[in-house]
Amino acid sequence: MPDIATPLVAWQRQHGRHALPWQGTRDPYRVWLSEIMLQQTQVSTVLGYYERFLQRFPDVAALAAAPQDDVLTLWAGLGYYSRARHLHRCAQQVVAQHGGAFPRSAQALQDLPGIGRSTAAAIAAFCWDERVPILDGNVKRVLTRVLAFEGDLAETRVERALWAQAQDLLPTQAADMPAYTQGLMDLGATLCSQRQPRCADCPLHAHCRARAEDRTAEFPRKTRKLKRSRVALTWLWLRRADGAHWLLPRPARGVWAGLWSLPECADAADAQAAVQGWTGTATPGETFTHVLTHRDMVITPWQFRFTGEAPSVEQLQQRWPGGRWLAPAELDAVGLPAPLSRLLRR
């Protein structure tokens, strides 16, 4: 194993990122919150959400005590909403089973909802200097290039082998773990990019076999690709004369789980049939595409604006259980899918 820890720690302390709001703390709540938010999400996007979360939920007890709707509302727009639900469940479990204190080892942290091996290692390294490796997407790219790691990471046994080598690369001094862990994150986010790595500026330049062999584009290797899907969706957008929108909570599983949304119809004809006999004006909206990580949502909003009295809440709830009218001023109080939030506020 090459000694990458020494140059990486030195580089991080001099040239790495140090001004992010979750750095410079040993508070596991803040470190955990940032690590969950940063999964599959860019730092620039997370910054505002992180600050707002801490203002509303300053500690794990405050988060655990909050209604899930409040958590999802603050999370709205950040995507991957299962993270928010796991975040809430994790906080509740820390309070109920651990007296409000996070377990102090990576192994024990993995027993909590939403905390995988790499996230647990990051928390343990930053908060308690534990010698455990992280292996998120950026770090896999860095290490497979340094090692010219030939295995296909789609295979479990191969990824297990990379974990073992990542363990062997750790610094010998536990006190170096925060800088080493942050250094790997910084390299993957800044210099060791997927398409145009800045090898000449990299502190691991002399140790990187992929660079020496001019093969950086080959790593990491992963043959299994997730297939994209395309989903057509018709939203029935009911509006009262006073501007209120009829919204209902989405199912607990699936896309936008637990958020508030418009009723869904099979198509425009189904939407027309749903409002048959009501007094109002129907306006088919322009179809647009909302891109998620693994699927494209092709959405057509079909607006019906009541010109007379709308059906009672009880009547509407018979068709759409759990629904309620929300005035425009109330939209900030509930979690909305990003495309719907833009639509209603436009």
Is 264 in the active site? no
| Distance of alpha carbon 268 from alpha carbon 254, whole angstroms | 23
Encode 285-301: b = buried (16+ Cβ within 10 Å), e = exposed.
eeeeebebeeeebebbb
Structural tokens at position 25: 């703390």
Instruction: Out of 35, 150, 286, 309, pick the active-site residue.
Output: 35
Q: Please give the structure tokens belonging to residue 165.
A: 């080598």
For residue 118, which of 87, 147, 140, 89 has the smallest C-alpha distance?
A: 140
Structure tokens at 112: 């909590």
Q: List the Cα angle 232/253/275 in 5-degree steps.
A: 50
> Do residues 263 and 274 touch, judged by C-beta distance below 8 A?
yes
A 10 A CB-CB count for 221 gives 14
Gap between the Cα atoms of 80 and 126, Å rounded:
24
| DSSP notation for 154-186 | TSHHHHHHHHHHHHHTS-SSGGGHHHHHHHHHH
- Which among 10, 84, 119 has a CA at the least distance from the CA of 256? 84
214: phi then psi, degrees, rounded to nearest 5: 55, 50
Report which secondary-structure segment, H or E, holds 121: helix 117-128
Helix, coil or strand: residue 264: strand
User: Which residues are catalytically annotated?
Assistant: 35
